[in-house]
Amino acid sequence: MRTDKLRINQLSPQIYEWYLAYLQSIDSKNIEGYGTFLADDCLMQTNNHPPVVSKAAILRGLSEYWTSFDSLTHDLLNIYGTDSSFVLEALNHYKCNDGKLVTVKAVAITDRNQTGLVTSIRLYSDTTPLFA
């Protein structure tokens, strides 16, 4: 993960550290670790695709998706919002399974419940170059 380009961060120091750990679980493709951040009834929606509902379904889908590339590095640009609802603007740097490097712009909207678990993730990114 890269934070050297982070311009605006509206999260508290505690939740910022929480979010870095959340993103690191994605960058390291640690599906079990990522699952610890999600509420059981979490919803994930990517672009115009139908939402995936439930932690178990999200983890199944991500396990499959994460095999489609070798690695991912989040390059944080801006984080807007509150500790319970926030938006990340980032560059996502992928290394494809064939070694090709691809960078895509991405926005992730995240909502957390009162216990701190993620209840909703909405992702907006054009990953077409990743699969070209």
Structural contact between residues 90 and 76, judged by C-beta atoms closer than 8 angstroms: yes
Report the percent of the chain where pLDDT is more than 70: 100
Domain total of the chain: 1
The domain that holds 43 is classified in CATH as 3.10.450.50
Q: According to the model, what pLDDT value does residue 33 have? A: 98
Residue 98 lies in a domain: yes
Of the candidates 79, 122, 77, the residue with the CA atom closest to the CA atom of residue 104: 77
Residue 2 lies in a domain: no
Q: According to the model, what pLDDT value does residue 132 have? A: 84
Residue 1 lies in a domain: no
pLDDT, tens digit, 9 for 90 and up, residues 69-83: 999 999 999 999 999
pLDDT, tens digit, 9 for 90 and up, residues 19-69: 999 999 999 999 999 999 999 999 999 999 999 999 999 999 999 999 999
Q: Give kind and range of the element (H or E) at residue 95.
A: strand 85-95
pTM of the model: 0.96
Instruction: Please spell the DSSP secondary structure of 72-94, one letter per residue.
Output: EEEEEEEEEE-SSEEEEEEEEEE
* pLDDT band of 90, cuts 50, 70, 90: very high
Range of the domain at 114: 8-131
Residue 110 lies in a domain: yes
Report the distance separating Cα 72 and Cα 58, nearest Å.
Answer: 18
